[in-house]
Chain A
Amino acid sequence: MQTEIAPRPVADADAEIKLDARHVNFFYGDFQALEDASLAVQARRITALIGPSGCGKTTFLRIFNRMHDLTPSTRATGEVLLDGHNVLDPDTDVIQLRRQVGMLFQRPNPFPKSIYDNVAYGPHMLGWSKSRINDIVEQSLKDTGLWDEVQNRLRRSALNLSGGQQQRLCLARALAVEPQVILMDEPASALDPIATLRIEELMQDLKKRYTIVIVTHNMQQASRVSDFTAFMLMNQRRAGEVIEFGPTDDIFNRPKESRTEDYITGRFG
């Protein structure tokens, strides 16, 4: 299976590839958690990672913005190209990388600060002017549909918002530093169905401007929102592998791999 080029989504041969993971291996100490994982993420599309729990989806996702650096004694090999530059290169400026590759987490994690300060944190850190920060806060809150709900209480604590509002605030916080890519790690797993729907609608809006990679354990969600889907599975050595990758429609309706089909039909009845 050691092909030189990562398996590509076939829809459009000329498509711009934003993020290109090639033959990525990942280790926790001696334990290998990912084996030869490749994925070409197309710009301004939504790419979903699905598979049973423990198959390495989240691990794979966190490599894209080097969040794995935070866990001691981990190691990633292979290449993850962002606009042609290898993210895993030791010379990569992780701080610049994370500004370009934003992240939304499983549970809403607003800072214990005001709504305004949450969104302004990133721009403030970049040393932007007051008026530019005001503009970007307003824009980001509008982009996430929060502006009308919170514009009169921007100075109130973000912790008073509902779970769904908190998650959209976290999204606005990520948008405020003007990233190119947004990584979402099961962003709706802690939300109720209505709030989940809200996030999914937002994703459709945002994909016009951003490249989105989403990890989800919910296959209906993947089929609803994504353009491309990668199916991952644990192999005999308990390491995660990308089994099949392609347009979402193909993966769900015409899977090439029997293992994909088993998983999809097993769940879809």
Chain B
Amino acid sequence: MGKGTAERVAPAPLVATSRQRRLISGDDVFRAVAFAAAALILVIAAIFVVALIVPALPAIARFGLGFFIGRTWDPVRTQFGALSAIYGTAVTSVIGLLIAFPIGLAAALFLAEESGVRLLRGPLSFAIELLAGIPSVVIGLFAFFILTPLMRDDVDPFLNHTLGFLPLFQGSPSGYGYLTAGLVLAIMVLPIMTALSRDVIRAVPRALREASLALGATNAETIWSVILPYARVGITGAALLSLGRALGETIAVTMVIGNRNEISASLFASGYTLPSVIANEFTEAVGNVYLGSLFYLGLVLVLITIAVNVLARLLVWRFTGSEPMAT
């Protein structure tokens, strides 16, 4: 190839011939494939809605909205209500959040802070990520064999002894029940609470922090009067996302909740949560109404989690201006 390369090649015509124009271009094909993939997720979502509702129909037809306030769960007389499972879900999730919230927030403050003990930040970050990656059935296994005896023999009796005047801490502890399940949930939502709060706190403008410190405020005063007020909305969102995670956790809770259809004031008592009823009774459920009631519980669970999650995402999104990263 010599010098005059450019001249020797005749330039192609700049106007596509009518035949070329009639052919579908590669761009059109690729765009169509990409749009088809996007449409597929819409189809999946539609099927998902149907898949959640259809198997629940026998129970919906039988119990209607009364399902939400029914306390009985009696397979023999095929009489079902969701109230005790909703109660158990709410109680365990709130316990989990009450424990995970302050610890996660403190860990997040530690991780987001520039000063402090730098040496510890890496390991803590690593530990939290490690915890996030552990399958929930493994946490359940740990809780079932290690945590429940500890609760039964030490923690619960101690609480009963010191705070036993409250109805919450009365009764005889078995190790299984709301409190243990709540503790397990706290462990499970700690990573997400920490990671999300850390991102929110990092989004607080550094200038604000430095201005406060420059005015002579201590670190603690800066956290209390600058960082927390500024990040309040985002932290609320992080807590709600953690709550959403806690509501739907199935396996680990099923292993320690005690699986009893009761509503008890005592946190030592065995109970049920929405997902654990489904997981626990699916194999033994016979008959359309019994099986349908399990799926009705599933539907209720999904509706509650979607509501909590959408609210949380709106808050986090409004605060950081970006999507929450933890999934």
A and B part of one assembly: yes
User: Quick check: B14 and A178 within 8 Å, CB to CB?
Assistant: no
Given the complex, which residues of A lie within 8 Å of B6, measured CB to CB? Answer: 178-180, 209-210
User: Quick check: A93 and B4 within 8 Å, CB to CB?
Assistant: no
Interface string of B1-30 (1 = CB under 8 A from A): 101111101011111100010000000000
Q: How large is the interface on B (under 10, 10 to 19, 20 to 34, 35 or more residues)?
A: 10 to 19
Q: How many residues of A contact B (CB 8 A)?
A: 21
Cα–Cα distance between A91 and B20 once the two chains are bound (Å): 12
User: Quick check: A209 and B15 within 8 Å, CB to CB?
Assistant: no
- How many whole Å from A128's CB to the nearest CB in chain B? 11
Cα–Cα distance between A96 and B1 once the two chains are bound (Å): 23
Judged by a CB distance under 8 angstroms, whether A130 is at the interface is: no
**In the complex, number of A-B residue pairs with CB atoms less than 8 Å apart:** 42
With beta carbons under 8 angstroms apart, the residue of B1, B4, B11, B13 that contacts A180 is: B11
User: Quick check: A91 and B12 within 8 Å, CB to CB?
Assistant: no
Judged by a CB distance under 8 angstroms, whether A139 is at the interface is: yes
Given the complex, which residues of A lie within 8 Å of B9, measured CB to CB? Answer: 178
Cα–Cα distance between A139 and B8 once the two chains are bound (Å): 15
Judged by a CB distance under 8 angstroms, whether A262 is at the interface is: no
Chain B, residue nearest A100 (CB): B11
User: Quick check: A96 and B13 within 8 Å, CB to CB?
Assistant: yes
Given the complex, which residues of B lie within 8 Å of A85, measured CB to CB? Answer: 14-15
Chain B, residue nearest A93 (CB): B16
Interface string of B107-144 (1 = CB under 8 A from A): 00000000000000000000000000000000000000
Judged by a CB distance under 8 angstroms, whether A83 is at the interface is: yes
User: Quick check: A209 and B5 within 8 Å, CB to CB?
Assistant: yes
Name the interface residues of A149-184: CB closer than 8 Å to any CB of B: 178-180
Cα–Cα distance between A178 and B11 once the two chains are bound (Å): 9
Judged by a CB distance under 8 angstroms, whether A136 is at the interface is: yes
User: Quick check: B4 and A209 within 8 Å, CB to CB?
Assistant: yes
Cα–Cα distance between A195 and B6 once the two chains are bound (Å): 25
User: Quick check: B16 and A91 within 8 Å, CB to CB?
Assistant: yes
Given the complex, which residues of A lie within 8 Å of B15, measured CB to CB? Answer: 85, 89, 91-93
- How many whole Å from B107's CB to the nearest CB in chain A? 37
With beta carbons under 8 angstroms apart, the residue of B11, B13, B14 that contacts A87 is: B14
Having A82-B14, A93-B15, A97-B14, one finds 19 other A-B pairs with CB under 8 Å, namely: A83-B11, A87-B14, A89-B15, A91-B16, A92-B15, A93-B16, A93-B20, A96-B13, A96-B14, A96-B16, A100-B11, A100-B12, A135-B1, A178-B5, A180-B6, A180-B11, A209-B4, A209-B6, A210-B6
Interface residues of A (CB under 8 A from B): 82-83, 85, 87, 89, 91-93, 96-97, 99-100, 135-136, 139, 178-180, 208-210
A-B pairs with beta carbons under 8 Å apart, 26 shown: A85-B14, A87-B14, A89-B15, A91-B15, A91-B16, A92-B14, A93-B13, A93-B15, A96-B12, A96-B13, A96-B14, A97-B14, A99-B12, A100-B11, A135-B1, A136-B1, A136-B5, A139-B1, A139-B5, A178-B5, A180-B6, A180-B11, A208-B3, A209-B3, A209-B6, A210-B6
